[in-house]
Amino acid sequence: MTNKAKTDFQNYFSEFKEFDEVLRPDMSINPKWKTLLNNFSKIGYKNLKEKQEELNWLMEENGVTYNVYNDPNGLHRAWDLNIVPFIIHESEWELTVEKGLKQRAELLNLVLKDIYGERELFKNGIIPQEVVFAHRGFLRQCDQIQYKTSKNLQIYSADLARGSDGRIWLVNDRTQAPSGMGYALENRHALNRVLPNISEGINIKQPLDFFNHLKQMLFDAAPQNKSNPNIVILTPGPHNETYFEHAYLASFLGYPLVTGSDLVVRNGKLWLKTLKKLKQIDVVLRRIDDVYMDPLELKEDSYLGVAGLLEVVREQQVAIVNPIGSGILENGGLIPFMNAICQHFFKEDLILPQIASWWCGQKKEMDFVFKNLKNLVVKRIDRSSRENIFFCEFLDDNTLTQLKTEIALAPYLFVAQEKISFSTAPNFVNDNLEPRKVLCRTFAIANKNSYSVMPGGLVRVAAERENLFISNQRGGISKDFWIVSNQNQKPLRNYAWDSTSNNQISDINDLSSNVAENLFWSGRYLGRALVTARYLRVVLNRMSEEQFNTRQSEFDSLTILYQSITNITSTFPGFVGEGSKERLKNPLKEILSLILDDNRSGSLAQTMNSFNNAYYSLRSLWSKDMWRVFDSIKKQWVKLKASDDLSAGELTKFLDRFITRLIAFMALIEESILVNQGLLLYFIGLQTEKAMMHVEKCRATLVFNYEEQVQYEILESLLNSNESLNIYRYSYRSFLSVENVIKLIILDTEYTKSLAYQIKRIEKDVNRMPYSEGINTIAACKEKILKAHTKMNTLNVDSLLKLNDNALVRQNLDDALAEISDLLHQTIMEISNTYFNHSYTQNQLTNQNFPLL
Amino acid sequence: MLYQISHTTSYKYEVGVTFCHNIATIKPKNMLGQTVVDYKLKIKPPPSEFSEKIDFFGNTVTRFSIQKEHKKLKVTASSKILRNHELLPDIYQSQKGKNINLIDSLVTLNSERLKIIDVKQFILESILIANISPEIRAYAEISFKPNRSIFEACYELMERIFNDFEFNPNVTNVATPIHDVILNKKGVCQDFAQIAIACARSVGLPARYVSGYIETLPPPGKEKLIGTDASHAWFSLYIPTFGWVDFDPTNNQIPKNQHIVVAYGRDYYDVPPLKGVIYSSGRNKMNVEVDIRPAV
């Protein structure tokens, strides 16, 4: 280590208290870290700050998020990756950690088989039955289920930490739906991209083989030996804390990301609802906990799972990874017996040491726990949340007595553990390296007759210096986790998959109804946002131009434009209904509300929020460029909300920028998603929304007959809001007339912004939708849009221009537009009915909800 | 005694149900002292899938699904049951069983724990009988004393529940917590059974929930009306050195031939007669009819 690095490292020395990964008790540097520290010196600690910021920016740009429940700012919180990786040398990793993880995975697999099978472990007195029977994760509904896979436990995950004796200890087992491998992979890529030279001279093992094994394992799990099984990833949805990872893995592995409502059990099989028909699913990689998986047999009020699923599993028509019921292994009560279990099955000791634990279901152990309570950490055997972990050293006497009473009532539900101090590792905080406690999440995948362990994993860091408990649920910092080798390693490659096992759904017929619906609504929201923004911009421009014009009459063009806003956006009463006189006196206030008010239906803010939700549900489809542009739109909104200058001029500037980005974003959608992936649905939603708003605009501005000057101003605004003024001038080279405007923006069949063109386009797209099986007649939506098209063909400009008797209103125009508007609405209704499966609303036969958790 | 039992559950749905998945635990047990002579399950509309399997507790669980749209569901289980409780061991004939006290019971339960694994799980908390409150514990300890026969104590517990609790079908439902029941002292057979189970477990004894039927007799001189019976529930206590003994706190008696056993569980949660998931947006109306009479 150079002298320079030492000065930069000085603060770290002063912070050093306990066992550290880098600093040894004699203050020498662990040689395994030397190259990395030298690289930091070369990069320069000052530059590290910049690089850390770049890393933060990249994570945000890439939309790497972690949702935090019950936190107003917690949804889509950016993932926090520290620039300093965590290192373990290959020699230690392979000899103890990897071997230990494999041993433990094999062992837990046998325990799982036994618990739901013969229960020899009870009969031989190796595990007391209470440890299993009293644990809420033991699902009697899963008893005696047979699986075709060679392992029952397909994915095993363990949290590890280094104890003060220098050994790596096992802290927790994770066996239901372990999270983190996607984040681990993204961490690796992000750090590599921002700081490629950080690993100069260091050979890092890459996880590509591991992910290939994951894919192979899912493939092999298909119970019916199909040559091309259908595999899906089941997520609870966009509000789950690790939803980013679900979407990330779905696009990385190439499997559809689905929610429970996308799936259905019929004829003893599991099906994915697609636009065309039901498609049989063979393997489900689930990210939902056990009891939520089947509302028929498990948690009655769960909407995350699929009713009847467990019976399909029993009949070996689908494989769930990990199998339902594997939560029983997340069991603090098993810890004290693990070594005996290991002896029983393998005639050997555990390789990874565990924290000394006492299960209170035995008298001797409980007495010991009561005597030494102050020095112990007490947990319920079937709860891992922070609320159920008692760090007794911090509890007052009252609370301790209470805890004792609680334990005495059902002692078998509690386990006490030695409090243990884990090693710290350097973390880059406030421009300095500080020691922080770390916890390493590691992963093993069933691979033929053994397990394959990910080299590295996800390292999580305590947020505060003295923190004992690490959980992402409360937000946290993560690290890239390097296994370093003396040998050269393959470089980190971008995703390259064996195409022979690719089952990616690529046909519009196979598109899941849920994805289709979200795409359809994305199109509608974006169409609505764009038309609304453009129209408001035109009106705001006019307001700025006429600021010094004192002429105010009921029939001046500006007032008419204000009123048209209310009609087009359907935000009544607004400028037309009750209280409109007051609002017309201060129109900017109403327009501001139409832009900014999140709670107002039809406002720009609300439309964007709705889009936001659809957008996050579809996140596995979006490209990185889209994330970036979308992020800039969000930031722009935040800025506007914080701004204290909300004049018409400023709002216009905001809308200018907003519209530009929105158009960029929409162009990205069109180039990022294939029509067969569902872009067709997006187009139909977008065009239909645009057409419906276009009809409203025309009705609001063209139906009434105004005096010449007013008419001129309104027509100009209308064309401006469509970005059609230049086309008009090019086409007609004349003074603006109602006749020519109708010809251009309603009847012209070649001009993309005319109603006739839009309807032709929608019809073409709707006709490309698959015929949904089970519906015999030609889909009603096709009929409706055909009617609209036919109606368009009957229109002629002379008839539309005709004024009624008092010369005030063009009744024919209004009637025609009203009819077309109705037909467009009906088209949308029918699309929804035919393709989006609203008839499948899940309910209980008898409403009940039992406390399973 | 040979009985003819018919148990009909019907649902009327406000809006059509596109399809449904259901689970029923309604087939009476075939066991010592109770023989299923005949059993038929009629489901209308006819299900497209149907299976009968034995569950964790040894009960017969029927799963079925109906895949065509329907507005009514009718499930009728008809069985002919031969009941002869005299074939079962009689606690009154067992000096050991009748007299074993609480202390000895707990010792025996512990020393025989590897032989009675399946029994011992009935000491533990279950879904509906968890976090047993001090009120329930205190209620139990009035009867259960360290040196008193647990059979005698349990018999007294049954009598006390019968006397202290009011049978009232309008106060509780399947989800009413036992802690509310012990405070209000009102409920139905299922509540009383669960209170008794909680009491037994609170002193460390295994107790299980029994679902089934009971034959009711018409007032003297009147003819029995169809459908006046109901599904019933009681409990069973495990007496070390003897075995399981049933108690019916709703009727203050030790079940004999008038009780027909359908299923055993830790509590109601394990053995609901019929439950399901339907795909429909509307509400539904349920009706249950049970009829038990001596078979001809």
Same domain, B103 and B235: yes
Chain A residues with CB under 8 Å of B270 CB are 140
Amino acid at A123: K
Contact A846 B269 (CB under 8 A): no
The per-residue DSSP string of A627-664 comes to HHHHHHHHHHHHHHHH-S---HHHHHHHHHHHHHHHHH
Helix H, strand E, coil C: the string for A315-345 is CCCCEEECCCCHHHHCCHHHHHHHHHHHHHH
Same domain, B131 and B201: yes
Give how far A260 is from chain B: nearest CA, Å.
Answer: 14
Sheet-wide strand order for A319-321: A257-258, A231-234, A283-286, A319-321
What sign has the CA pseudo-torsion A222, A268, B52, A294? positive
Same domain, B128 and B213: yes
A79 touches A63 (CB < 8 A): no
Contact A845 B277 (CB under 8 A): yes
Same domain, B103 and B250: yes
**What SS3 class is residue B187?**
strand
pLDDT number for residue A359: 97
Chain B residues with CB under 8 Å of A128 CB are 113
What residue of B is the nearest CA neighbor of A140? B56
Give how far B251 is from chain A: nearest CA, Å.
Answer: 27
Q: What share of chain A is helix, strand, coil (3-state, %, to 5)?
A: 50, 15, 35
Contact A141 B279 (CB under 8 A): no
In this complex, is the C-beta atom of B148 within 8 Å of any C-beta atom belonging to chain A?
A: no
In this complex, is the C-beta atom of B120 within 8 Å of any C-beta atom belonging to chain A?
A: yes
The Cα A361–Cα A344 span in angstroms is 21
- Report, as an integer, the average pLDDT of B213-223: 83
The Cα A618–Cα A525 span in angstroms is 14
In this complex, is the C-beta atom of B76 within 8 Å of any C-beta atom belonging to chain A?
A: no
Give how far A537 is from chain B: nearest CA, Å.
Answer: 43
Q: What is the CB-side half-sphere exposure of residue B70 using CA atoms within 13 A?
A: 20
B157 touches B145 (CB < 8 A): no
In this complex, is the C-beta atom of A405 within 8 Å of any C-beta atom belonging to chain B?
A: no
More confident residue, A598 or B40: B40
pLDDT number for residue A238: 82
Contact B279 A840 (CB under 8 A): yes
Tokens of B106: 């707990």
The Cα A569–Cα B188 span in angstroms is 57
What residue of A is the nearest CA neighbor of B15? A839
Q: What is the mean pLDDT of chain B?
A: 93
Q: What is the CB-side half-sphere exposure of residue A800 using CA atoms within 13 A?
A: 24
Same domain, B102 and B225: yes
Give how far A267 is from chain B: nearest CA, Å.
Answer: 7
Structural domain boundaries enclosing B116: 90-268
Contact A845 B276 (CB under 8 A): yes
pLDDT at B51 over 70: yes
Q: Give the rounded distance of the alpha carbon of A274 from its chain centre.
A: 21
Same domain, B101 and B182: yes
Chain A residues with CB under 8 Å of B10 CB are none
pLDDT number for residue B283: 82
Residue with tokens 């047990």: B29
The Cα A104–Cα A443 span in angstroms is 11
Q: CA A779 → CA A513, A639, B186, distances in Å? A: 16, 46, 57
Contact B114 A300 (CB under 8 A): no
Give residue-wise pLDDT tens across range B180-207: 999 999 999 999 999 999 999 999 999 9
Same domain, B46 and B19: yes
Identify the CATH number of the domain in which residue B47 sits. 2.60.40.2250
Give how far A851 is from chain B: nearest CA, Å.
Answer: 6
Give how far B121 is from chain A: nearest CA, Å.
Answer: 6
Q: How many domains are contained in chain B?
A: 2
Q: Which of A846, A847, A853 to mutate to test the interface with B (most CBs of B within 10 A)?
A: A846
DSSP code for B46: P
**What SS3 class is residue A347?**
coil
Contact B22 A297 (CB under 8 A): no
Contact A846 B132 (CB under 8 A): no
Same domain, B208 and B188: yes
A808: left (phi over 0), alpha (psi -120 to 50) or beta: alpha
Contact B281 A841 (CB under 8 A): yes
Interface size, chain A vs chain B, as Cβ–Cβ contacts under 8 Å = 105
pLDDT along chain A (853 residues), means of 10: 50 68 85 91 87 87 69 63 95 95 98 97 95 96 96 97 91 93 92 90 93 95 90 91 88 89 92 87 96 95 93 97 97 97 98 96 95 94 80 91 93 92 87 87 95 96 60 69 92 54 58 86 95 95 72 72 94 91 90 92 92 81 81 88 89 95 94 83 95 96 91 93 92 89 95 96 92 64 94 95 91 96 93 73 78 63
Same domain, B140 and B229: yes
B233 touches B212 (CB < 8 A): yes
The per-residue DSSP string of B247-284 comes to EBTTTTB---TTEEEEEEESSGGG--SEEEEEE-SS-E
Nearest by CB to residue B117, choosing from A122, A410, A412, is: A122
pLDDT number for residue A548: 43
In this complex, is the C-beta atom of B125 within 8 Å of any C-beta atom belonging to chain A?
A: yes
Same domain, B78 and B96: no
Residue with tokens 């008038």: B258
Residue A429 has φ and ψ, to the nearest 5°, of -130, 130
Cβ contacts of B263 within 8 Å, gap of 6 or more: B25, B29, B57, B59, B60, B210, B211, B212, B270, B271
Identify the CATH number of the domain in which residue B249 sits. 3.10.620.30
Same domain, B192 and B112: yes
Same domain, B198 and B263: yes
The burial of B218, by beta-carbon neighbours within 10 Å (0-12 exposed, 13-18 middle, 19 or more buried), is given as exposed
Q: ipTM value of the model?
A: 0.95
Res. B267 pLDDT band, cuts 50 70 90: very high
